[in-house]
Amino acid sequence: MPHTPEPDEDDLDAIAPPQPVFHAEQALLGALLLDPHRLDDVNGIAADSFSTAPHAALYAAIRTLPRPDPAEHAKNTKWLDRVLATALEEARGLTASYLHALVQVCPWPRHAPAYARMVEAEHARRRLLAAAERLVHTVHDVSLPHPVQTVLAEADALAAVVDDIANRFPPRSGVLPRTPAPPPTAADDTEAVEEEQLLLATATARPDDIDAVRWLIPDDLTLPLHAGLWQCLTTLARRDEPIDPVTVLWEAQQRGLLDDGSEPGEILRMLAEPAGSVGHWAERALQRSLLATAEHTGRRVEAYAGDSANTPFQLVAGARRALADIAAVRTRWQNAAGATPPQQRRAAPATRAGPPTTTAAHAARPTRATR
């Protein structure tokens, strides 16, 4: 076997990242280079499971080339030379010294299945992180003509990744990520505030339309005051009591909604300026709620997948719990849109329902609604 390379002989060694998976990849490749027949014990991974292009190219070459005769392989480096030549087509920085270094750093070739499982677990974490990042990016893509449908499609893609990981690493009951979930994103959304004010005023002026939007719940609104006023309206409607700005204000007082310093006169003025339809503004609020929920779900999964201490079992459990929030609001969106399949739903409003802020409603400081 050729000599051990000096540190300056191989730039790959000099710039190797410190992540443990890199060393697991080296150990696995070393085991396969030393004993190619151990490929029979390795499953669940492909070339793209590796964290670097050189490692991916080496694994692809090892799997592609015919295995050498064990006796001949022990006497010469012909098969290693063929592996290097094949891998160089995809990764020009590889050297013969690096292949021999891989063989030397492998602790136990018979542990190849364990090394492969480590590589598979880290690849699962990277896949989950990438899917969550795509979901968050899609939520904020204001160029989308139909944001809800596109965001839900990305949520489905994230769920598919979770399901695939679960098949490879069946979750254990009660094992959740140790990583704290990030707080909801709080943002000042003037458009959302104005549209919710119009919703409340229009519902006050046309209380008979409230029953038709039962799929809208107080948590869909961005401000605690607005959420409370919507609850006042739905409660009065359910009781079949008179509804007008004064009766809504009185119900708000009974619920303690004025304790934050909101002025009765301002609430009366807000409730006295209806426009449009209750259904339109309610659907806009629900769309904003769905997008906000999707963003928070994506950020939760990002946080889980970004913590390398979380096992695949924990990632699956945490991601599924986060995705359940999207499923709940999605059902209400389908009810609002007529429960039609995604490709048949009516087009989303021409104007995007603003940046998602709904999930921050209860975490945000109560804000007085004004116009």
pLDDT tens figures, 220-240: 999 999 999 999 999 999 999
d(CA 102, CA 29): 7
> 93: helix, coil or strand?
coil
- What pLDDT was estimated at residue 18? 54
Q: How much is the pTM?
A: 0.81
Tell me the CB-side half-sphere exposure of residue 228, using CA atoms within 13 A: 22
CA–CA distance, 279 with 349 (Å, rounded to integer): 12
Q: What pLDDT sits at residue 371?
A: 29
Render pLDDT for 272-286 as a digit per residue (tens, 0 to 9): 999 999 999 999 999
Query: Contact, 336 vs 215, CB < 8 A?
Result: yes
pLDDT of residue 16: 47
pLDDT at res. 291: 95
Retrieve residue 130's tokens. Answer: 């990438």
pLDDT of residue 15: 55
13, 16, 22, 26 alpha-carbon torsion, rounded to 10°: -10
pLDDT at site 189: 79
Structure tokens belonging to residue 189: 């959304």
DSSP H or E stretch at residue 193: helix 190-205
* Element (DSSP H or E) covering residue 279: helix 278-306
Token pair of 107, please?
A: 């602790």
Cα 352 to Cα 151: distance, rounded to the nearest angstrom: 13
**How many whole angstroms separate alpha carbon 284 and alpha carbon 147?**
12
What is the spatial distance between Cα 13 and Cα 343, in angstroms, rounded to a whole number? 51
Q: What is the pLDDT of residues 283-322, one digit of tens each?
A: 999 999 999 999 999 999 999 999 999 999 999 999 999 9
pLDDT below 50 — which residues of the chain?
1-10, 16-17, 339-352, 354-371
